[in-house]
Amino acid sequence: MNPQGARAEDLCADLLRAAGLRIVERNWRCRHGEIDLIAEERGMLVFAEVRMRTGPGFGGAAESVTAAKRARLLAAARLYLARRPDALCRFDVFLIDGATANVQWIRDAFGE
């Protein structure tokens, strides 16, 4: 991971902690990919994806959460949840504009 990405994840982990969540895992890897942050909030697991874009060249951070990225994140979370089959969970996304350091936290981003 590049230094900017590491700082972005640190910032999001700090935001989660400040909101009262406990960080359980960072950069959890499996055969499906990586989950940036896994936190716990009152018994609910929160799988957090951190997306940052420093410029408009490849679209914004929101455009980088593609259907393929979402599918990989869901598959990785299913594997993680195999250890805790009764756990409730949600998926949060942090969108960071690297030029301004503006952070948008989307809770339950994949909610139906």
Q: What is the mean pLDDT of residues 48-59?
A: 70
pLDDT at 39: 97
pLDDT at 64: 57
Q: 58 versus 38: which is more confidently predicted?
A: 38
pLDDT at 107: 94
**Which domains, ranges and CATH numbers included, belong to the chain?**
3-106 (3.40.1350.10)
pLDDT at 2: 74
Sign of the four-CA dihedral 41, 51, 68, 26: negative
Name the phi and psi angles at 86, rounded to 5: -95, 0
